[in-house]
Amino acid sequence: MDPITVGLQLGFFVLFGVSVFQFARQRGTLELSVLAIFGSFAALFLLSFLNALEPALTPFARPALVFVLFAQPYLIVRLLDQIRPVGPSVKRITLIGAVAAWEAVVLLPVIGTALDVPQLQPIGVVAATFYFFAVEIWAAARMARDSRRRFGVARLRLGSAAIATGLYGAALLLAGLASVTRPPGASAADSTAVTRTLVLIATLGYLAAFVPPAWFRRVINRAASFHLVRALVAPPTEQTSGLWVDLATTAREILGARRVSILPGAPGAPLAEVGERAPESAPDSDLKPFLSTVELPIRPGSDQTERLVADIEGRPLFVGDDLALLTDLGSLTAHAIDREEMLIGLGEARREAEESRSVRANEARFRALLEADPNAILALDEESRITWATRQAGELFGGPIDRLVGLHLSDIVAMHKDEMTTTAGDRPVFRSETTGRRIDGTHFPAEIARSTFELDGRPFQVAVISDVTWRHEADQIRDRFLGVLSHELRTPVTSIYGGTQLLLGRGARLDPETRNELLVSVAAEAERLQRMIENLVAMARIERGGEFGGVRPVLLDRIIRQLVEREKVLWPEVTIQMSSSGPVQMVAADEEYLAQIMRNLLSNAAKYSGPGSTVEVSLEDGEGEVLVRVRDNGPGINLDDAERLFGLYYRAAPQSSTAPGAGIGLFVCRELVATMGGRIWAAPLPDKGAEFGFSIPAYVDELDTIPAGDEPGHVFHRAPEPATDPVPAAAATAAARAETNGAGGVHDVAAQTGPGDGSGPSKAPATA
């Protein structure tokens, strides 16, 4: 059994186990519908296994398999009816369609054989698969529409279930059409691979929907509650009713509820009420939704606490995620209201702080709420001296909070006059970019936001300080890269422009040898520019997550030898040799990627080794792979830099001073090798020099390893393409002659690119 089939069965059995656990924990009609859907999947795979184990059961197992398969659309419709009524006619049509699909697949072939009408079998298969596809697509659209009414994790899970349902329907439609249109005896490898891939993606979608990891739920819940948390730590509004209304409104959006009420702990009027009551009657009584009531304590663990009561239409899926999010939001809202009430009576609380434990408890809750903010929060008096600070402030400025209290704000933050003023409510907020100073004297870039308020007739300030070192470092890396890149692009463009202008203006008066040298120089600079652009294009595709082409069988020895000969012409002052321990096996790779990798490695080795050095290229067979090593006798590399050399924009310090570059070539090499399933490395040699190498998986002809009757799981579709040389061979030969001759006023200029650029050598045109 292939790994994809095992993965599919394992995934659906996991889903079945989860649905059994959920039904055992809460026995409801909604949980029963989910159990029926994944139970049918489990039964389908179990019957398939038994049928494969005992072929004699095929006359009995096949009708059962078909029945379980085409019962899926009806079970999906029953689940959607539990979430939101779909109408009895839809359920009846789906049930009749399931029975008809079973008859079309099981009975029509028998009837066609009896009547000698073989066309009945493909007609039945097509009709049944189109029924399955239509219902699954309709169910997926219904789930997607319902997901738009939800919020946070529940929306993502419903959307994932919708996509998985649509893909499952498309997979069955594709399988049915392929079985009908495929000529007798033809291979079904392509359609089987596509169908299994779609079903595998659908299985992953169901797993993401029904078995999401706990950390994923926490991350999404934190992101969903971000805006409300910002409102809770905003300057006080001295009103608490608005926060209850905000909580009720948010709860209504999250749950998709018709009506949400916030009830007090003691009997009395609701603290907030949003939405409308359900109508007493509906125009169509069959479609009148039933209401589910959800009640959630806002302060868990308290005897008398506010309660959130929501009326929800139907029985929504994944409501547990919504309740977990609302529990956090309700707790934050309760703390925020406590803070508002505490600030209103802060003056009296300070006078009674030593005698009243309740006030100290409120202050502790207020401080805990502020401690949840990841930024440093400071309270300042009218002289801008720190009266208290959060724990994050002590961590940011590198000392205990006691060391901060009493300091002037200017002692830890450089004050600027060009502050930007915004408004939060009815209070101005002053923002500026500045520099923070830690207690140990070190500095860091920071942002500060200050808001003023009065308490007991005295002005106070709240300052929020953020460390923005990461943003400054990103700006520096970007600016440095753009500067290096502009220089690297300007050099070949300038040489090409100067050479062509000289040829246009005085080409007819130049002697043939000088004219040929100018043409060779222009061609070399054009090739260097092309290599840089190839690396930039590959880097852009990698950063945006673009897909690369497939692989095919490649004779690595032939390609490497061609590239080595080509580089010998471009680097006449460097000895480039190639050795092989014997014939090497074919590899599964892409010729264009291999050429780009080798050009980068060979040009880097020649460039950093210098004139008179030797570069050795060797090939050797490994276990299931072919290893390519490029060794030079240059200055070498540090062992600590070996891994980092393949990082984007990274350039080792010694090499960056001798050969400027953008630092993208080795990064591109690493990504291209990884795309082809290989590995890449760098290491210093014992005496001097360095080794850069990579491995490519060997090509395995699957037709030789698959038993008779089986179908290959992988087929190479791309036909071999002839390798193209961006610079004509004649120009390359002329370049070698011009380099050895040195006449005509043409001088050699080493390629000014750093480790990882892979740019070719550069030659400046002669000056008249």
pLDDT of residue 628: 94
What is the pLDDT, as a whole number, of residue 615? Answer: 93
Query: Is pLDDT at 694 greater than 90 in this prediction?
Result: yes
**Predicted local confidence at residue 191, as pLDDT:** 66
Q: According to the model, what pLDDT value does residue 632 have?
A: 92
Residue 575 β-bridge partners: 614
Q: Convert the pLDDT of each residue in 541-590 to its tens digit.
A: 666 665 666 778 989 889 899 889 988 888 888 899 998 777 889 999 88
The CA dihedral of 661, 666, 668, 673, to the nearest 10 degrees, is 170
| Of the candidates 368, 370, 373, 376, the residue with the CA atom closest to the CA atom of residue 395 | 376
Beta strands 614-621 and 625-632 are antiparallel
617-661 pLDDT, tens digit each:
999 988 899 999 999 988 888 888 778 888 777 666 556 555 545
Angle between helices 512-543 and 591-609 (to 10 degrees): 120
Q: Is 312 helix (H, G, I), strand (E, B) or coil?
A: strand
Considering only residues 373 and 745, tell me which one the structure prediction assigns the higher pLDDT.
373
Enumerate domains of the chain plus CATH numbers.
Answer: 3-211 (1.20.1070), 220-277+286-346 (3.30.450.40), 373-467 (3.30.450.20), 469-547 (1.10.287.130), 550-700 (3.30.565.10)
pLDDT digits (tens, 9 = 90+) for 197-243: 877 787 777 777 777 766 666 666 666 566 555 554 454 555 667 77
pLDDT band at 716 (very low <50, low <70, confident <90, very high): very low
Give tens-digit pLDDT for 122-169: 888 888 888 888 888 988 888 888 877 776 677 787 788 888 888 878
Tell me the C-alpha distance between 603 and 154, whole Å: 53
Mean pLDDT, residues 270-280: 77
Is residue 316 scored above 50 in pLDDT?
yes
CA 12: distance to chain centroid? 25
pLDDT one-digit tens code per residue, 88-115: 888 888 888 888 888 887 777 777 777 7
Q: Output the 3-class SS for 162-187.
A: HHHHHHHHHHHHHHHHHHHHCCCCCC
Whole-number Å distance between alpha carbons of 332 and 334: 5
pLDDT tens per residue, range 59-75: 666 777 777 777 888 88
The answer to whether residue 695 scores a pLDDT higher than 90 is: yes
Render pLDDT for 241-257 as a digit per residue (tens, 0 to 9): 777 888 888 888 777 77
Mean pLDDT of 462-491: 73
CB neighbour list of residue 573: distance below 8 Å, 6 or more residues apart: 611, 612, 739, 748
**To 5 degrees, how large is the angle CA 152–CA 158–CA 164?**
135
Is pLDDT above 90 for 517? no
Residue 727: pLDDT over 60: no
Question: Residue 708: which pLDDT band, with cuts at 50, 70 and 90?
Answer: very low
* Average pLDDT across the chain, whole number: 74
Alpha-helix residue ranges (DSSP H) falling in 116-213: 120-147, 152-181, 189-210
More confident residue, 237 or 466: 466
Residue 259's pLDDT band (cuts 50, 70, 90): confident
What SS3 class is residue 266?
coil
In this structure, of 67-71, 421-425, 468-472, 483-487, the range with the lowest mean pLDDT score is 483-487
The string of pLDDT tens digits covering residues 282-306 is: 555 455 556 778 888 888 777 767 8
What beta strand segments (E) does 518-601 contain? 552-554, 575-580, 587-589
Percentage, residues of the chain above pLDDT 90: 5
Q: What is the per-residue pLDDT for 748?
A: 33
Collapse the DSSP code of 214 into the 3-class scheme (helix H, G, I; strand E, B; otherwise coil) and give the result. Answer: helix
pLDDT range class, residue 390, cuts 50, 70, 90: confident
Assessment of whether the complete model's pTM goes beyond 0.85: no
Write out 695-757 in H/E/C secondary structure. Answer: EEEECCCHHHHCCCCCCCCCCCCCCCCCCCCCCCHHHHHHHHHHHHHCCCCCEEECCCCCCCC
pLDDT in the model for residue 224:
59
Strand partners, 465: 376, 448
Residue of 164, 83, 107, 166 lying closest to 132 (CA atoms): 166
